[in-house]
Amino acid sequence: MPAHAAESSSLVPPMPERNPKALREAIAQHAPQLLPDFEEHWKWAVADTFNISAVPAFVARWWGQYAIARDPQLDAHLTDLEQRASECTDITEAKALLEEASNIRYQVRRLEPGQ
* pTM of this structure: 0.85
Q: What are the sequence ranges of the domains in the chain?
A: 17-109
CA distance 90 to 111: 33
Q: pLDDT tens-digit profile of 43-55?
A: 999 999 999 999 9
pLDDT of residue 6: 44
> What DSSP assignment string belongs to the chain?
--HHHHHTTTTSPPP--SSHHHHHHHHHHH-GGGHHHHHHHHIIIIITTT-GGGHHHHHHHHHHHHHHHT-HHHHHHHHHHHHHHHH---HHHHHHHHHHHHHHHHHHHT--TT-
pLDDT of residue 10: 62
Q: pLDDT tens-digit profile of 8-57?
A: 456 899 999 999 999 999 999 999 999 999 999 999 999 999 999 999 99
CA distance 38 to 22: 13
CA distance 66 to 35: 10
